[in-house]
Amino acid sequence: MSKKISLIGAGQIGGTLAHLIAIKELGNIVLFDVAEGLAKGKALDIAQSSGVTGFNVNIVGTNNYNDTKDSDVIIITAGVPRKPGMSRDDLLGTNLKIIKQVADGIKSTSPKAFVICITNPLDVIVMALQKYSGLPTNMIVGMAGILDSSRFKYFLSKELNEPIKNIHSMVLGGHGDTMVPMPKHTKIKNKILVDLVKENKISKSKLDEIVNRTRKGGAEIVKLLEKGSAFYAPAASGVEMAEAYIKDQKKTLPCAAYLNGEYGYKDIYAGVPVMIGKNGVEKILEIELENNEKSNFDVSINAVKELCNAAAKIDPVLGK
């Protein structure tokens, strides 16, 4: 039985999600947007590309949540993106209102869906989505770590002239300037990155530069595009999570997941390694963090907590 995948938001990321999911034939697609013409126009355009790429899935556009009823997977990009000079945190007020509307739209129509949230500021928005919707915490997850890890791996692959498929890494913590790239948990052809620094294969200063460029990766693209933010890599990252759920891959991926004591934190969403399979977030993997990694992680979690406090000031329901 084909899966039903609803994409809430048919903008830059939503449209790219729809195209990638169609080409991979992950399921039938409902592209939803308050801008009905945008959803319907992109759905029709992607559908018409099937004559070339040959995919055999249905795709429709709508602005009616009833059309998304009983979705197996929901991927949410509804919200406003950054403009040059804005931080992800500047989007909080506007996108909180939008995510409340989305939560109200999906909680009654698709209570059993696996929900992937992409809207920024990610960690606090996915927390708000879970509180507003009341869906189980293991079935609501945020996409950020896969994107940030992909950026980190890309910069390393260019610096080391190494095919990116030979590089394995994770970026943890909040999806912001305090995110935590993990050189001690990064392997290049099974060699730990910190050992390559010791062997002078890459200098410490160059590695620090790559860590910083990863943290600012989103802002770099926002500045270049002038209007909008990154969408190809975020969409590819969201599809990897959806595929792990749909195919029960039990894949370990860095995602914003609900912590209930793991890493010493409770009742907060943050980027950690999780296993995604048919039951959603099936496990949170607690990797050994050494001193500076743990302190950097704590700084990042505190930044998420501050945003959650700001959100609770906007809507006290979120503070409970």
Provide the annotated active-site residues.
175
User: 78 or 202: whose CB is closer to ligand TXD?
Assistant: 78
Report which DSSP code applies to 85: T
Q: Which residues 142-201 are close enough to bind ligand TXD by CB under 6 A?
A: 143-144, 147, 175
Using CB atoms within 10 A of its CB, is residue 256 exposed (0-12), middle (13-18) or buried (19+)?
buried
Measured at CB, which residue is nearest to ligand TXD? 11
- Can you read off the two tokens belonging to residue 53? 């790429």
Contact call for residue 77 and ligand TXD (CB under 6 A): yes
Contact call for residue 234 and ligand TXD (CB under 6 A): yes
Q: Which residues of 152-163 are buried (b: 16+ CB within 10 A; e: fewer)?
A: bbbbbbeebebe
User: 28 or 119: whose CB is closer to ligand TXD?
Assistant: 119
Contact criterion met (CB below 8 Å) for 59 and 50: no
Contact criterion met (CB below 8 Å) for 196 and 188: yes
Report DSSP letters for 195-214, one per residue.
HHHHTTSS-HHHHHHHHHHH
Measured from the CB of residue 180, what is the shortest distance to ligand TXD in angstroms?
A: 15
Contact call for residue 280 and ligand TXD (CB under 6 A): no
Q: Which residues 11-50 are close enough to bind ligand TXD by CB under 6 A?
A: 11-14, 33-35, 38
User: 212 or 292: whose CB is closer to ligand TXD?
Assistant: 212
Contact call for residue 228 and ligand TXD (CB under 6 A): yes
Using CB atoms within 10 A of its CB, is residue 94 exposed (0-12), middle (13-18) or buried (19+)?
exposed
Q: Strand 73-76: give its sheet, edge to edge.
A: 59-62, 28-32, 4-8, 73-76, 114-117, 140-142, 251-260, 266-277, 280-284
Write the CB contacts of 290 (distance below 8 Å, at least 6 apart in sequence): 184
Phi and psi, residue 103, nearest 5°? -60, -45
Stretch that binds ligand TXD, among 46-54, 93-101, 181-189, 299-307 (CB under 6 A): 93-101
Using CB under 6 A, which of 5, 78, 270, 276 touches ligand TXD? 78
- Give the number of residues in contact with ligand TXD, rule: CB under 6 A: 35
Contact call for residue 110 and ligand TXD (CB under 6 A): no
Contact criterion met (CB below 8 Å) for 41 and 27: no
User: 94 or 309: whose CB is closer to ligand TXD?
Assistant: 94
Measured from the CB of residue 281, what is the shortest distance to ligand TXD in angstroms?
A: 16
Using CB under 6 A, which of 19, 20, 74, 81 touches ligand TXD? 81
Token pair 């700001």 in the structure block, residue: 310
Contact call for residue 300 and ligand TXD (CB under 6 A): no
User: 176 or 202: whose CB is closer to ligand TXD?
Assistant: 176
User: 119 or 186: whose CB is closer to ligand TXD?
Assistant: 119
Contact call for residue 101 and ligand TXD (CB under 6 A): yes
CA dist., res. 24 & res. 41, Å (int): 21
Contact set with ligand TXD (CB under 6 A): 8-14, 33-35, 38, 77-82, 91, 95, 98, 101-102, 118-120, 122, 143-144, 147, 175, 228-231, 234
